[in-house]
Amino acid sequence: MAFIGEHEQRGVIGTDNIRSLFSDLAGGDFHEWLDGFCGYWGISRFLVLSIFFFGLLSILWIQIPNLPLFTLEWLIGLAPVWMPIAALIAAWKVWIWYAQSLYISKIDPVLLEVKIPRELVRSPRAMENALSKFWTDSGVTTFLNRVWQGQVTPFFSLELASFGGEVHFYIWCWRGWRSVVESAIYAYYPEVEIVEAEDYAMRFRYDPDKHEVFGTDWRLEPRNDAYPIRTYVDFEIDEDPKEEYKIDPFAEVLERLSTLKPTEQMWLQIIITMCRDTRHVPGAPWWKTESRYTGTLKSEIEKIREEAVGDVESEPWRRSVRIPQARQTELIRDIDRNMGKHPFNVVSRGVYIADPENFGSPGYTGIRWIWRPFGNPQYANQLRPRRWGNPFDWPWQDLYDKRWIMHHRRFFDAYRRRCAFHSPWVTPHNMLSTEALASIWHPPSRSITAPGLDRLPAKKAEPPMDLPM
């Protein structure tokens, strides 16, 4: 059911919408108007741009007789200039796609289930330390590895799945990396049990006649990746208080997963890989680059400091006042702390699955905003739902559910492949530190009592050394 009700996603039309429309038109920013007005009403960006294109083309056709022949002559005449460049660029992209796809197709994946013990008292800081082992660029250190052999940075998937209210923790990885994953988790959580499990995503077959689904991605918004979400440090779990005093927002996520009916499912997937992104150094020569993670964080810290100082030319009183707002102090502290953490490129996605009788607003709203307890949209960031089922707000966007079904078939294909950074499903990603990742996925301590969390009845222990032979 593609149309899920505009009142659920957009709200009623008010004076704010009208003011925003006229503000975009008065500002002369075509892209703002296109994304704002047309996006609000569910009008296709492609349709609007096509109308403008063919309108301008018709005007040009009137001004230039025989426009197709004129254009063809220019293309043929300049072919020695543009064709070699276009051919080289296309050949490079096709080769990279082919080499990486061939390499990934030969990888044997494995899904590991992490079974949680009853008496677990570790804070998420333990998971943060374990994730540092996943931060690796093994196999892509040389140009030959990356380009000729098509090797890619190892990527992992941290997953949560609820089947009718039964919550399971999973880690998806390459089989060759299984020992690395197990040693990292066992080092900080020796009480857990890690076993190989059947891939639930591969087992599921989406049938539009039997299943109602809502898929979504989550993106950091409304600011850039330098601004963090709320983490376990903000909730003071890093100080290891007594279990009865712990306030872990992850408990709300697990409780939501535990309340599903027998015919409902929710899957959450967090795909991570080492962040190797670079960017141009602002103000430096074009060949100077730096880490996009540290560069972005440093730039935002400087902007916040400049905002705290203010314009001393127009406001001379600021020369003697250097008291930043609490918001600015906290932001600088949080951003600066994350600069010392390992950065990952992250794509997170999830899906709600139900039979037609139980599919409704509580289900898909629950999956869309499941990470809201970690959000701080007022002056930092939140994980906001985007793509897949989210753009469908109005009935004219998909009259016969064709686009809805196609989108979700593609969603399940991307989910099964754990594909996010490479073809065929290259997805926009964010940068998150190990601190943020450990906050939204970690083995829960005994303070979390979600009913759907099936804990092991007893912790494992080594046998005494002095047992008789």
Give the Cα separation of 311 and 318 in Å (integer).
8
Residue 380: other Cβ atoms inside 10 A = 21
Q: Give the per-residue SS3 of the chain.
A: CCCCCHHHHCCCCCHHHHHHHHHHHHHCCHHHHHHHHHHHCCCCHHHHHHHHHHHHHHHHHHHCCCHHHHHHHHHHHCHHHHHHHHHHHHHHHHHHHHHHHHHHHCCCEEEEEEECECCCCCCCHHHHHHHHHHCCCCCCCCHHHHHHCCCCCCEEEEEEEEECCEEEEEEEEEHHHHHHHHHHHHHHCCCCEEEEECCHHHHCCCCCCCCEEEEEEEEEECCCCCCCCCCCCCCCCCCCCCHHHCCCCHHHHHHHHHCCCCCCEEEEEEEEEECCCEEECCCCCCCCEEEHHHHHHHHHHHHHHHHHHCCCCCCHHHHHCCCCCHHHHHHHHHHHHHHCCCEEEEEEEEEEEECCCCCCHHHHHHHHCCCHHHCCCCCCCEEEEECCCCCCCCHHHCCCCHHHHHHHHHHHHHHHHCCCCCCCCCCCCEEEEHHHHHHHCCCCCCCCCCCCECCECCCCCCCCCCCCC
* Phi, psi of 212, deg, nearest 5: -105, 130
Instruction: Kindly tell me if the per-residue pLDDT of 313 is higher than 70.
Output: no
Give the pLDDT confidence score for residue 19 in this predicted structure. Answer: 64
User: Which position has the higher pLDDT, 350 or 5?
Assistant: 350
pLDDT confidence of 80, banded at 50, 70, 90? very high
Residue 125: other Cβ atoms inside 10 A = 19
Query: What mean pLDDT do residues 264-281 have?
Result: 94
Instruction: Kindly tell me if the per-residue pLDDT of 164 is higher than 90.
Output: yes
Give the pLDDT confidence score for residue 37 in this predicted structure. Answer: 66
Give the pLDDT confidence score for residue 351 in this predicted structure. Answer: 97
How confident is the model over 219-262, as pLDDT tens digits? 999 999 999 999 999 998 887 777 777 888 999 999 999 999 99
Distance of CA 300 to the CA centre of its chain: 21
User: Which position has the higher pLDDT, 48 or 77?
Assistant: 77
Give the pLDDT confidence score for residue 316 in this predicted structure. Answer: 64
Query: What mean pLDDT do residues 106-118 have?
Result: 95
Instruction: Kindly tell me if the per-residue pLDDT of 463 is higher than 70.
Output: no
* Phi, psi of 282, deg, nearest 5: -60, 130
Instruction: Kindly tell me if the per-residue pLDDT of 90 is higher than 70.
Output: yes
Give the pLDDT confidence score for residue 320 in this predicted structure. Answer: 56
Give the pLDDT confidence score for residue 15 in this predicted structure. Answer: 63
Query: What mean pLDDT do residues 108-130 have?
Result: 93
Instruction: Kindly tell me if the per-residue pLDDT of 13 is higher than 70.
Output: no
Query: What mean pLDDT do residues 61-77 have?
Result: 88
Portion of the chain with pLDDT greater than 70, in percent: 86
User: Which of 102-116, 302-316, 383-397, 398-412 has the least mean pLDDT?
Assistant: 302-316
**Global pTM?**
0.87
